[in-house]
Each structure stands twice: as C-alpha cells, then as structure tokens.
C-alpha cells in the first residue's frame, strides 16, 4: 500500500516555522495600548500568535518579545483565539 500526500497538508510557506512557547506583547493605538499574547510558532517571515480573546486585535500592529525588539505584523488569518501574522519588511 502506498501513501499519498493529501494536497491540503502540503507546506506552502517560504520559510519553516519553529514551534515555540514565548510571551509577547502587541502594541496598538499608536503605542497607547498593549495586549498580551503567546507565540506558538515563528519563522523569518511570520508567526502564529495566541490570545485570550481576539477582541481588539487589529489587522496590523507591532509585536515585542524577548527575541524580537519590535516588529510590525499584518494579520494573514484568524481562527479561534489565534492569528497568523506576516512580518512586514521581512527579508
């Protein structure tokens, strides 16, 4: 019996994401507000972030973590309490 790849599971990202469990803060409202989040995976071009609630999470924001001093993000998808983001100006 041969195994066939289901096309829905084929990786389409240009860079590999690494699983992490790190605290982060997103900065919104021109730096006047912040929301806590958890980074669930990260790559050179983006990340998956988890929130307690997506209420108030805008389409673009800056993220700050211990490893990322400050990076502008654009939401690529939303689902449940998670968002996938692309890093703006990522190499």
Phi–psi pair at 55, nearest 5 degrees: -60, 125
Q: How confident is the model at residue 9, as a pLDDT?
A: 45
Q: How far apart are CA 47 and CA 40, in angstroms?
A: 7
Q: How confident is the model at residue 40, as a pLDDT?
A: 96
pLDDT (tens digit, 0 to 9) for every residue of the chain, 91 residues total? 444 544 454 455 567 878 999 999 999 999 999 999 999 999 999 999 999 999 999 999 999 998 888 999 999 999 999 999 999 986 5
* Beta bridge partners of residue 27, listed in sequence order: 34, 62
Please, what is the Cα angle at 29 between 24 and 31, to 5 degrees?
A: 60
Q: How confident is the model at residue 63, as a pLDDT?
A: 96
């Amino acid at each position: 019996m041969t195994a066939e790849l289901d096309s829905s599971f084929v990786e389409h990202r240009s860079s590999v994401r690494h699983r992490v469990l790190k605290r982060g803060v997103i900065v919104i409202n021109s730096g006047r507000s912040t929301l806590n989040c958890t980074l669930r995976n990260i790559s050179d071009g983006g990340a998956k972030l988890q929130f307690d609630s997506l209420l108030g999470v805008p389409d673009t924001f800056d993220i700050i973590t211990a490893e990322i001093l400050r990076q502008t993000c654009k939401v690529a998808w939303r689902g449940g309490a998670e968002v996938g983001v692309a890093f703006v100006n990522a190499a």
